[in-house]
């Protein structure tokens, strides 16, 4: 019987987290299939045995590939998908009840809807980095424009029409790291006149990075992703928001100092977080920004080396 939704999950290591995600999907009552694509985990064969022995209430395929990045893993799953709507989840998430029905509901309203973003919230917020990412709604807020529209959807919690994904060639295999491929895909889809919708009730809980180092490494990778995205879409004017060329370092430092102090005072005034967090969060954001720009410069350097002289 045809299914309503094909869910593609790229995964690397993290067997127990993947099991938690599949267990959360086990409670869903709709008609869907799951395609897990392992992106070259060192324990790939053992991981496949563990997952395939699970008691799942849905059809599951477990595909193994060499380590080529999550974008290629998603494309592998896309080729095998049977449904007209393709859902994407990351292996560090779990779904809330009725996710499988709510992530596809918006397509019936408008044939120009190419993809739907769900609401991504924190799985827990115990460590300082987890509390920081929870406070700033990491993996949720930054996909929205000021007017509430979407230029892309985050692949930790989303779905797309299969025919449109194939029309634009799927995800770019040039993104071999977990960042930027969703923005790149959004640019390609929006360029063809399609739109994105938001489903607030399609909720996914995300395991935020639990240490400062892992969080900073993630922002470094985000910087690499943006640089790769701008390299793929040099004609898009929106890249200016990612690529300021202000050479007046003194002015930038003054603006940064004012911004941090403003955020600290605002946090204290609102009283929503502790005094320690009110002071620490803006400083943590500063380090994240530095890691982001270092990653961006690093990827730009790598790309420059790849260009023919």
186 and 110, same structural domain?
yes
Helices 44-52 & 15-25, crossing angle to 10 degrees?
Answer: 20
Per mean pLDDT, which range of 169-173, 267-271, 275-279 is the poorest? Answer: 267-271
110 and 69, same structural domain?
yes
198 and 49, same structural domain?
yes
Structural domain ending residue among the three candidates 145, 175, 210: 210
231 and 181, same structural domain?
no
Give me the pLDDT at residue 247, please: 43
Structural domain ending residue among the three candidates 176, 192, 210: 210
Separation CA 281–CA 276 (nearest Å) = 8
Per the structure block, which two tokens stand in for 210?
A: 């639990």
Give me the pLDDT at residue 257, please: 59
Per the structure block, which two tokens stand in for 55?
A: 């008691």
277 and 183, same structural domain?
no
Nearest to 104 by CA among 85, 80, 88: 85
CATH number at residue 30: 3.90.550.10
Rg of the Cα atoms in the chain: 20
Nearest to 178 by CA among 145, 208, 156, 148: 156
Confidence of residue 84 (pLDDT cuts 50, 70, 90): very high
How many independent structural domains does the chain possess?
2
Structural domain span for residue 240: 217-306
Separation CA 309–CA 303 (nearest Å) = 12
Residue 184 has pLDDT above 80, yes or no: yes
Structural domain ending residue among the three candidates 180, 210, 240: 210
Residue 199 has pLDDT above 50, yes or no: yes
Separation CA 6–CA 106 (nearest Å) = 16
Average pLDDT over all residues of the chain: 82
252 and 111, same structural domain?
no
Helices 212-232 & 181-190, crossing angle to 10 degrees?
Answer: 30
Confidence of residue 231 (pLDDT cuts 50, 70, 90): confident
162 and 85, same structural domain?
yes
Confidence of residue 1 (pLDDT cuts 50, 70, 90): low
Residue 240 has pLDDT above 50, yes or no: no
């Amino acid at each position: 019987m045809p299914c309503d939704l094909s869910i593609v999950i790229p995964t690397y290591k993290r067997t127990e987290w993947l099991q938690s995600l599949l267990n959360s999907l086990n409670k869903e009552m709709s008609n869907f299939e799951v395609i897990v694509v392992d992106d070259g985990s060192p324990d790939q064969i053992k991981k496949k045995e563990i997952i395939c022995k699970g008691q799942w209430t849905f059809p599951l395929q477990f595909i193994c590939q060499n380590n080529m990045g999550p974008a290629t893993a998603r494309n592998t799953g896309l080729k095998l998908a049977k449904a007209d709507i393709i859902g994407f989840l990351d292996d560090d998430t779990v779904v809330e009840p009725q996710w499988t029905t709510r992530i596809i509901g918006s397509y019936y309203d408008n044939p120009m809807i190419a993809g739907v973003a769900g609401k991504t919230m924190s799985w827990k917020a115990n460590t300082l980095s987890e509390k920081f990412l929870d406070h700033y709604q990491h993996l949720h807020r930054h996909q929205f424009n000021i007017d509430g529209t979407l230029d892309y959807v985050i692949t930790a919690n989303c779905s797309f029409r299969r025919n449109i994904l194939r029309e634009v060639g799927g995800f770019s295999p040039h993104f071999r790291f977990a960042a930027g491929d969703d923005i790149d895909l959004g640019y390609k889809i929006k360029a063809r006149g399609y739109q994105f919708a938001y489903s607030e009730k399609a909720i996914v809980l995300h395991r935020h990075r639990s240490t400062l180092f892992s969080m900073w490494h993630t922002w470094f990778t985000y910087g690499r992703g943006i640089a790769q995205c701008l390299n793929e879409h040099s004609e898009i004017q929106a890249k200016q928001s990612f690529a300021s060329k202000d050479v007046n370092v003194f002015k930038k430092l003054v603006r940064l100092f004012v911004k941090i102090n403003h955020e600290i005072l605002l946090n204290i005034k609102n009283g929503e977080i502790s005094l320690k967090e009110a002071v620490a969060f803006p400083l943590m954001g500063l380090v994240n920004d530095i890691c982001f720009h270092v990653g961006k410069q690093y990827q730009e350097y790598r790309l420059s080396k790849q260009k023919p002289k």
